[in-house]
Structure formats: structure tokens, C-alpha cells
Amino acid sequence: MPEPSTTHISVRNLSVHYGGQPALKNVSVNIPDRKITAVLGPSGCGKTTFLRCLNRLVDTVDGVSVSGQVLVDGEDLFDPAAEVTHIRKKMGLLSQRPYPLPMSIYDNVAYGPRIHGQSDRGELDALVEHHLKLAGLWDEVKGRLRAPATSLSIGQQQRLCLARGLAVGPEIILADEPTSALDPISSAHIEGKFKELRDQYTIVIVTHILRQARRLADYVIFMYMGELVEHGPAAEVFNAPREKQTREYISGVIS
Amino acid sequence: MEDNSARLFNDRLIRRLILALIVVVNVLIVGIVLALCVRSWPILDGTPLGRLLFSTEWHPSTGKFGLLTFIVGTFAVTAGAMLLAVPPCLLSAIYLSEYAPRWIRTLSAPLIDLLAGIPSVIYGLWGVLVIVPLVQDRIAPLFGVKSTGYSVLAAAVVLAVMIVPVLVHISVEVMKAVPRELREASLSLGATRWETVKHVVLRKSRSGLFAAGVLATSRALGETMAVLMVAGNYVFALPRTPFDQAYPLPALIANNYGEMLSMPHYEAALMAAALVLLLIVLIFNVTSQAILLRFARA
């Protein structure tokens, strides 16, 4: 059993409404530092909304209202004075399908550093190479960095998106069902990367694949109908769930 | 088993009917070009093409039919309209697609589209009543120029307003078609909204935006009534400044067809003008299609 670790992200009384419809109801949970936390639950349970709160992408939805706090390194993301680009820079995002930016492989990875002021050619080259290696893509693309990112296979695109997210130097990786569009080999590749990165990054992965959560998670959050039902170290939640809904989900009665 | 023969017959019938319609439409465009060629033949046959296209002499009574004044007028007015319309329309489209709250979008989109429904003669009247005096009394003096107000500038302003709905509407649609996740990918890296628009949304939608520009230009090239009312229609000199009068091809044709009296070759010359206009629009569209194809491949 993993030793109790420090908290990286602290969610307090977080509620989200879309045009009056509740999507998250009063969620409070501490996400441990440099561990893989899996957010589990059936479709529509609010797990994606939860993830989108962590980097405030939830803001981009029309008619959304959020209450509560998300503290990262002690700073409240939803504080009206909080500066959102600086918050988002701390977090890399992997979405369900890879969305490479409409530019070359190189420029995809260099995009973030450039935005944050890096313009030195040599530095950029080094950053791009380093992060493509980190994402396990370098050997496959080193000869064609100027090719459009869309020329890659979908599995390669997802690793490119990982490299792109890592290149801004985040502390946290947010992943929303990052393997759901991928073939099994590419999925295993991404999961393998997560395992390698877990010592350096706090990883929050939303998934509905129970076996994936079992393979990866150190800590588990189980949600149902917008509510946080249960959370705890993975071994506890999987082997001795306290709540009936968690038990039913894990045993496959509900999915 | 039920009898399907009637249904299958209908299926075949519909397919042939649609095919026939498509053929008619395609033949039509070829037919128009051919008809214009035939009717302008007396001029095309007797006059060197260079003199027809690059001479400014237009004296129907002495048989001199140089179209350059009108060709230049057409391009000047169209280019002016695009210069005036594209920047604000692009910014409006960006606002409506990327920044505006939903209520502003639902309110202003139909209003902008309404501009497309206003008859062009109304635009012409508005130009005569508002823009022409404005150019004469305010804008031209600002540059120390004397102008009647009937000018390239007045025509360009009126045309610019007329192509606003085409530009804005298509641009908004094109930008809204960019997947939300692509914006989020950029935002999640810490990009601001403007950086996201500049590097991601505009880049992703550039072929669509280009197509919007092409449609608007085609529309501007052929616009007749409103331009005719405010351009001044001066035959004897090329426009040198935006405050000079211009005489675009459509205005030439609309003003003079039917009043050719018995001057030899006058009708043929107007037909040649129509042919030139049609070819300008066709060549412009074909070139644009080619550029769009290259965009699509890139």
C-alpha cells in the first residue's frame, strides 16, 4: 500500500451548473501529489466536468456557473483575481481524441513554449526533441518534423499531444479518456508513458475503463450522477469499496 | 412478395430527371458564353484584341471601342470594396464566433443577413443621398481634392456594405466549424483567447475564409445597379485617385444597351464588354478554385 502523500490539488465544495442543470454537486476531495488519480464513473456522472474544472476549461461553456474552490499549490483557481493562462500552463491536457494544432509536428510542440516567450531557435529545438523523446515519439518523427501533424497516425497524434502538453513544463497532467480513440497498441503506449511520468507529475485520468484504472491508478475517485460517491487509495476502493454504488460499478452491475 | 417494379421505375426516373437538370445547368453557362461570342463577333473579328482590351478610346460614333476604362473601373471599385470590407468583416466574424455571448450572436446574425436582402437600387439611393455628399463635402476636402462625390470611393463604400453579409456570415460559419477541442488544446497550454484565434482558429479556417472572399469578390465584380448610381460613369479618362469617377463594365452595359441607335458595331461592342466581364468572373473563380484545392492538399 502506497504511503500517504501530500496533497497537490484540493477541491472544496465544488458545484457546477449548466444553465441551471446541476452537473457537479458539492464535490470535495484531495488529489495526491505525483500519483495517478483515476476518476471513475458511468457516462454523464460529471467526471469530465470535474476534470474541466481543474484547468478552468469549464469557463468556455455558455451559461455555466461554478461555486466552490479548487486549490492548486494553495492558490484558488476560481478566485476572481486568478489569472487563467498561468493556471492552465501548470497543466497539460490530453483529450479523448488527439487534436493536433493545424501546423507541423515541430510547431505543435513548440507552440506552448513560444507563447510563453521562448523564441531562441536552439532552445526550441532542444525543447522539441526532449519532449518528443519523453512522449516516446522522437524516433518515429525525427526525420519529418516539418510535416503536418495530421500526417501522423492517430496513436502518434495522441503522443504528440502529450509532448505538446509537457513542453510548457506543467506539474499536472489531465487526461480525459485519453485512450478511447486509440488501438490497443497505442493505448498501451500511452499507459506506459503515464507509468513512467507518475514520479514527476500529478496525473488525473478520467476513464470509464475499469481495467485501465486498475492498471494505472494509485488513487481512485468514484462519481455517480454528479456526486462524489467514494474516494481513496486504489487498493482500498477496488478491494473493499464502502459504498453500494461503487461495489455495483466495480462488480459490473452498473456501468 | 410485393411488386417492386413501380418503385424501382420511379427510382430510375428520378435519377435521370436530376441528371437532365444538371446537364441543362451546365449547358446554360456554355450557351451564354457562346451567345456572347456570336453577338460580339463583328467587333472581335475586326478589332485587334489588344486595342479592344487596352485602349481607353470609347467613341461609338466613330467606331472606337476601347474597353480599358471600364475594365479598370471594374477592378478599382471591386478592389476598393474588398479593402474596405474585409478587415472589419473578419474582425466582426471573429467576435461573433469566438467572443460574443449567445444573445448578441442570436440578435446580430439575422440583422447582418438582412443586409443581403436589401434591393441593390436601395443601396444605390443610399449611396447617392449619403455617401456621395459625404465624399464631396467631407472626405475629398480632407485630402485637398475636389470631387463631385460620384467616385470610385463612393462606389467602393456602397459595394463594401453590400458584401458585408456574405463575408461575415460565411466567415462565422467557417470559424464555428473549427472543433471546440482544438481551441481547448491551445487554451490548455496557457494561450490567451486572441493567441488561440490567431494561431489556431484562423489558420484552421483559412481556406473557408478565402472562399468567403472569393464569393464576395464575384458578387462585387458583377454588381450593377448600386455601382452605376454612384460611380459617376465618366467615359473619357481612367480613374487616377479614389475621388475620380469610374465606369465599371456592368454600368456601361446597363446604361447603353437599348440605346445603341444605328451606330455600327455598338451592340457588338457592348456584347464584347459583357463577354469580358463574364470571362473576368470565370477566370477569377477558376483561379480561386485552384488555390483552394492547393489549400486542401496542404
Residue with cell 476502493: A237
- Per-residue model confidence (pLDDT) at position B61: 85
Cell of A140: 518515429
pLDDT of A1 above 50:
no
Optimal mutation site among B181, B187, B189, B207, interface A, most CBs of chain A within 10 A = B189
Q: So what's the pLDDT on residue A43?
A: 86
| Alpha-carbon distance values, A138 to A146, B50, B83, B278 (Å) | 13, 59, 45, 53
Among A169, A204, A227, where does a domain finish? A169
**A86 neighbourhood in chain B, CB within 8 Å:** 190
In chain A, which among 148-187 make CB contacts under 8 A with chain B? 148, 161, 164-165, 168, 174
In chain B, which residue's Cα lies nearest the Cα of A83? B190
Say if A122 falls within a structural domain.
yes
If you average pLDDT over residues A69-74, what whole number do you get?
Answer: 90
User: Is A45 an interface residue toward B (CB < 8 Å)?
Assistant: no
Cβ–Cβ pairs < 8 A, chains A and B: 68
Q: How many residues does chain B have?
A: 298
Regarding whether A220 and A112 lie in a shared domain, the answer is no
Do A8 and A85 fall within a single domain? yes
Question: Cβ–Cβ of B187/A92 closer than 8 Å?
Answer: no
A residues 205-224 lying closer than 8 A (beta carbon) to B: none
A177 and A62 within one domain: yes
Same domain, A185 and A199: yes
Percent of chain A clearing pLDDT 70 (strictly above): 98
CA distance A230 to chain B (A): 28
pLDDT per residue as tens, chain B (298 positions): 567 889 999 999 999 999 999 999 999 989 999 999 999 999 888 888 888 899 999 988 888 899 999 999 999 999 999 999 999 999 999 999 999 988 999 999 899 989 999 999 999 999 999 999 999 999 999 999 999 999 999 999 999 999 999 999 999 999 999 999 999 999 999 999 999 999 999 999 999 999 999 999 999 999 999 999 999 998 888 999 999 999 999 999 999 988 766 788 898 999 999 999 999 999 999 999 998 888 777 6
- Return the H-helix or E-strand segment holding B236: none
CATH number at residue A218: 3.40.50.300
Residues of B in contact with A148 (CB under 8 A): 298
A178 with A231, same domain: the answer is yes
pLDDT at position B298: 63
Q: Give the pLDDT band of residue A44 (cuts 50, 70, 90).
A: confident
Residue A2 has pLDDT above 90, yes or no: no
* A154 and A178, same domain (yes or no): no
Q: Are A53 and A146 members of one domain? A: no
Task: Write the burial class of residue A239 (CB in 10 Å: 0-12 exposed, 13-18 middle, 19+ buried).
Answer: exposed
- Alpha-carbon distance of A74 to A79, in angstroms, equals 11
Residues A29 and A82 reside in one and the same domain: yes
Chain A residue nearest residue B201, CA to CA: A102
In 3-state terms, what secondary structure has residue A28?
Answer: strand
Of residues A3 and B67, the one with the higher pLDDT is: B67
Domain count, chain A: 2
Same domain, A83 and A121: no
My answer on whether A116 and A156 are in the same domain is yes
Say whether both A119 and A176 belong to one domain: no
Whether residue A97 lies inside any domain: the answer is: no
The pLDDT score that the predictor gives to residue B1 is 59
Helices B206-222, B152-176: crossing angle, 10 deg rounding: 150
Nearest by CB to residue A85, choosing from B183, B190, B298, is B190
Nearest to A62 among B102, B188, B204 (CB): B102
Domain boundary among A169, A197, A216: A169
- When pLDDT is averaged across residues A93-114 and rounded to a whole number, the result is 95
Q: Which residues of chain B approach chain A closer than 8 Å at the C-beta?
A: 101-102, 179-192, 195, 199-200, 203-204, 298
**How would residue A63 be classed by pLDDT, with cut points 50, 70 and 90?**
confident
Class of the CATH-defined domain B58-297: mainly alpha
ipTM of the complex: 0.91
The residue ranges of every structural domain in chain B are 58-297
Range list of H helices, chain A: 47-54, 84-89, 105-115, 121-134, 138-141, 154-166, 184-197, 210-216, 234-239, 244-251
Within a 13 Å sphere around the CA of B114, how many CA atoms are in the beta-carbon half? 5
Average predicted confidence (pLDDT) for chain A: 92
Pairing status of strand B58-59 against strand A227-233? unpaired
Nearest to B78 by CA among B160, B134, B147, B148: B160
The verdict on A84 and A177 lying in the same domain is yes
A146 at B interface, C-beta within 8 A: no
User: What was the pLDDT predicted at A4?
Assistant: 54
Q: Which of B179, B190, B192 sits opposite A99 (nearest CB)?
A: B179
* Percentage of chain A exceeding pLDDT 90: 82
Query: Would residue A219 count as lying in a domain?
Result: yes
Contact residues for B243 (Cβ-Cβ < 8 A; gap 6+): B135, B139, B140, B143, B145, B146, B147, B151, B152, B153
**Residue B296 has what pLDDT?**
76
- Full residue range of the structural domain in which residue A136 is found: 102-169
